[in-house]
Amino acid sequence: MKLTLLEKIPRGRDRSFLSELEKRLEEIASGLVVEFEILGLTDKRMPRVQVLGEDEEAFVEILRKLFGVAPRNIRDLVDRAVQKGFMEKASEQKDVMTIDVGLEDSTSFRAFLRTERLRAQLFEGAPVSLQAMISRFGFVEDFPLEIRVVSYAGTGQEAEVELSDEQRDKLQEWRLLPFDRITVRNSTASELSSAVRKAGLERDIAGIESLSLGVHSVICKLGTDGQGLVRRLGSQLEAAQLFVFHPNGERTQETRHKTKTHR
C-alpha cells in the first residue's frame, strides 16, 4: 500500500527530517510483521510511504492516528469529519488563510479559512484583523491545524474550512493558561531537545509539545518570560524560526535565525 503522510518536510532539510521520520516509523513497526519504505516527497513536501506485510493494515492505522494520511481525492476530503492541514499563506485582500490539506490529484484545488469564521471561533466575533490573528497565535507557514470542511464548491476547485472543535479549544486554552510558549518551526524534536539541554534551559521549561514533525510548542514555566529564552534557545537552532506566544497578547514577537541549508 502506498500513502502520503500529513506532515510537512521543511524546504532544504529533507535528509534530517526524513531520517527522523524513518526512526519514528521503525519504532512504530517494532513487533509488527511489516516493511516500509519512504519513497520521497510530494510536490507539497509531504512524505510518501510504501507499506507491505501481514500487519500492513494495523501499521497504516497507527500512522493515520499519529500523523494523518492525505486524502486520496476531493470526495475523500469532504467525507472526513476532521482533517489535519497546514497553514500555507494568507491574503489580507481576500480575507482568507489558505490551508494545505495534502490533496494530490488536483494541483489547482485550494482549501481556505475565512477571516470572519476564524474571528468567530477564536475571538467571539470581535473585529480582529487576519494579520493580527496570525501574529497573535504564530500561524507561520506549515503551522499544523486540525480543520473540517464546511462547504464545498461543486466545481471541485475549492472548499471552505474551519477549525475543528478540538483545535479551537486548544488555541483558546493557550490564551487561558498563564504560560508563555515558544513556537519553534523548522526543527526536529531531537534537535529541539538537544538545544534545550545545551542552552541550559531545563529549569525554565515545563514541557515540549510537538505539533508536527517540524513545528513544536515549548511551554515555559510560570513566571518565565518566553522572549528572554529565545536568544539562548535560538543560538542552538540556527535553522529555526521562533515565535513567542504570550497569554495576554501584549508582547507577541517573532524571532528569525539565519537559516543554514542541510542536505
- In the CATH hierarchy, which fold is given to the domain comprising 177-256? Alpha-Beta Plaits (3.30.70)
The answer, yes or no, to whether residue 21 has pLDDT greater than 90, is yes
Q: 258 pLDDT band (50/70/90 cuts)?
A: very low
The answer, yes or no, to whether residue 14 has pLDDT greater than 70, is yes
Alpha-carbon span 187 to 77, nearest angstrom? 28
Q: Which helix (H) or strand (E) holds 227?
A: helix 226-234
Angle at 199 between CA 13 and CA 208, to 5 degrees: 65
Supply the pLDDT for residue 74: 86
pLDDT tens-digit readout, 106-154: 667 889 999 999 999 999 989 999 999 998 898 989 999 999 999 987 6
The DSSP string of 102-130 is: ---S-TT-EEEEEHHHHHHHHHTT----H
Q: 256 pLDDT band (50/70/90 cuts)?
A: very low
The answer, yes or no, to whether residue 90 has pLDDT greater than 60, is yes
Supply the pLDDT for residue 125: 87
- Specify the length of the chain in residues: 263
Q: Can you tell me the mean pLDDT for 50-72?
A: 96
Q: Can you tell me the mean pLDDT for 48-75?
A: 95
Q: Can you tell me the mean pLDDT for 153-163?
A: 83
Sequence-distant (6+) residues with CB within 8 A of 145 are 84, 85, 86, 87, 99, 139, 163, 167
Supply the pLDDT for residue 153: 75
The domain locations on the chain are: 2-66, 76-173, 177-256
Strand order in the sheet with 205-210: 205-210, 215-220, 181-185, 241-245, 253-256
For residue 164, the SS3 value is coil
CATH number for the domain formed by residue range(s) 76-173: 2.40.50.140
Equal CATH topology for 76-173 and 177-256: no
Supply the pLDDT for residue 261: 34
